[in-house]
Structure formats: C-alpha cells, structure tokens
Amino acid sequence: MASISSLNQLPCKTLQITSKYSKPTSKISTFPSKTELHKPISIKQSTNPKPRFTAQGTNYDKEDEWGPEPEQIKPSGVAVAEEEPPKPKESSEIDLLKKKLTDAFYGTNRGLSASSETRAEIVELITQLESKNPTPAPTEALTLLNGRWILAYTSFSGLFPLLSRGNLPLLRVEEISQTIDSENFAVQNSVVFAGPLTTTEISTNAKLEVRSPKRVQIKFDEGIIRTPQLTDSIELPENVEFLGQKIDLSPFKGLITSVQDTASSVAKSISNQPPIKFPISTDSAQSWLLTTYLDDELRISRGDAGSVFVLIKEGSPLLKP
C-alpha cells in the first residue's frame, strides 16, 4: 500500500472559486498536505455577502413577513363580483294549483251559485291536488288537523237551503267553520248569521273517532245557540237623488238612531244571557269524512254521497280575496 508520504508526492492543483458578489477569499486543494491533516478545524463565519431576494406585492391591504391574508388580497384591475341578493322562492306546482282552486271559488257562494262549467273546473283542480297529497295518512298527522278551518266550497246539497237564505230573508250566512281539537278528539261546526244590526252563531259539538289513516267518524251530541252580538251602526247620507230631485234624509236620522238605540239595549240585555244548549240524541246525527288532501293551510274532505268539502285554515293568505 502507498503511504501518506508517497501521496504527498503526487502533483496537486489548486482550484479557486470566485463569485461575482465577492472577492476570492479561500483556496481548496484537491488533496490536503500531511501537516494540514493534523491542524484543528475551525469554523469561521463567512463574510461574503449573500444575495437577497425580495418579493414585493402590490395593492395589499395589510403586509407582514408572511404577506397578507388570502381574503385581504385585492389585486388591482380585477373586478370583484358582488354577492347577489337571494332570489324569491318560486311557487311550487302545488301552490299554483291551490291558487287556481281558490280563485275558481270567487262568486260561487261556497258552491251554491257555481255554474256547471265552474264546477267541472273545480273538480279537475281538486283531483290534481288529491294526486299530490303531501299527507297520505291525515289521521296520523293530528297537529295539521288541529285548528279552525273555514269552509270555502262544498258540493253538499244539504247546505244549499241554508246558503240560499230561503227561510231566513233578513239574515245571511257570514261564515261556516269547523274547529278540530285532536287532543280531546272533539269537533265543533259553526255557522255565523249576520242580520241588519246583529250577528249570531249556531254551532254543534261532536266527538271524533279515527277509523282509518284517512277516515274519521263524527257523532254530534250537542247544539249551541249563542247570544246575538251588536254590529256597526247604520249611517245614512245627508240626501239622495231620486228622479232628478234631491231628497233630504235628515228627518230619518232620528228614527234610525232610535231603532239603533233600541236594538242596542235589547242586544245588551240578551248578550248577558248564557248561550242556549240542547242535546242531540238521534242516531242519524253522525257522519264520516275521508280526508283526501291535507297541508298546513288547505284541507279537502269527502263525505256521504260523494260530497266534497274544501276548507282553508284560519289566517292563511288563501282566504284573502
């Protein structure tokens, strides 16, 4: 083997490394000498300046050693899209059908005055809604059945004599409603009559019995006649024109005032009385209802002989004309 001394006899070349940033300060030999091998190694901090690279951004809201937060960067010359306001909710097919149905009720007097053409249109809309019933088991969704429902349309001929006012020339039917209390399985049907100066209400109480997911049995057990309530006063104009002549109505104001005062005193004396209740004990005082459509504001039910009832929940926008 070659010794270290023989290695020293080999020719060596010295390489110089220079940088454009500094002057050469050291020499590196390909093979160190024997004496250099025994010298202690010392580490000195280089005095050579190192190149520095700086990244500079533009139009930052905030700058630090890490740069701005991503959401804070706003490049110049770039348009930032503004958030658009939420679009109004589009009406569903069911909502459109319900709107068409309630519009078809206009001028029908709850079905009494509906023409054959209007009846056919209403039946078609009802059939379409029943096919899209969101509550297939209404008797299992008692919270939806709860509340006061206003009758908007019916084909039940038993109500037509009442709606026609044939036997009640001075009264009109102002409202027909049904109130369901599912917790107590109770039902109350009510009819409000309005007269010249007063209104009164006749109602029946019944028990509710669930027979199937869609069908309920209703048995009436009590009738109630509530005391009349005084309505707004009658106002007469100063005069009216008849056959080209103006007729002064001021002399009649005293008469009207006298009638109103008399009616008011009578109504006040009657209103202090409790409502009249009477039992309903006949076996025929019962019926059944099959709910074919139900949501939070509309209910469609079918009863005896195929009659249909469309009711709207009190407070629903569908009740507005």
pLDDT at 142: 86
Question: CA 183 from chain center: how many Å?
Answer: 25
Euclidean distance between CA atoms 171 and 194, whole angstroms = 5
Decide: helix, strand or coil at residue 156. coil
pLDDT at 115: 94
The CA radius of gyration of the chain, in Å to the nearest whole number, is 47
The interaxial angle of helices 93-104 and 116-131, nearest 10 deg, is: 160
Q: Please tell me the class of the 93-227+275-319 domain.
A: mainly beta
Q: Return the residue matching tokens 């004496």.
A: 35
Write out the residue limits of the CATH 2.40.128.280 domain(s) in the chain: 93-227+275-319
Note if the pTM is more than 0.75: no
Q: Which helix (H) or strand (E) holds 290?
A: strand 286-294
| DSSP structural state of residue 22 | B
Residue pair 112/122 in contact by the 8 Å Cβ criterion? no
Within 8 A by CB and 6+ apart from 194, the residues are: 171, 172, 174, 231
Residue pair 171/194 in contact by the 8 Å Cβ criterion? yes
Query: Exposure of 108 by Cβ count < 10 A (0-12 exposed, 13-18 middle, 19+ buried)?
Result: middle
Of 227, 189, 209, 206, the residue nearest 280 (C-alpha): 206
Neighbouring-strand partners of residue 201 = 192
Euclidean distance between CA atoms 227 and 203, whole angstroms = 12
Residue pair 135/299 in contact by the 8 Å Cβ criterion? no
pLDDT at 198: 75
| DSSP structural state of residue 111 | T
pLDDT at 63: 45
Provide the token pair at 111. 């079905």
pLDDT tens over the chain, length 321 residues: 444 444 445 454 444 544 444 444 444 444 455 555 455 554 444 445 555 544 454 444 444 445 555 545 455 555 555 666 665 555 699 999 999 999 999 999 999 999 999 999 999 999 999 999 999 999 999 889 999 999 999 999 888 777 776 555 567 888 999 999 989 999 999 999 887 677 889 999 999 999 999 999 999 999 998 877 766 555 555 665 655 566 665 665 555 566 656 666 665 666 667 888 889 877 777 888 999 999 999 999 998 778 999 999 999 999 976
pLDDT at 177: 96
Euclidean distance between CA atoms 189 and 309, whole angstroms = 13
Distances from the Cα of 97 to the Cα of 90, 111, 116, 291, angstroms: 14, 18, 20, 18
pLDDT at 305: 76
Provide the token pair at 284. 């025929």
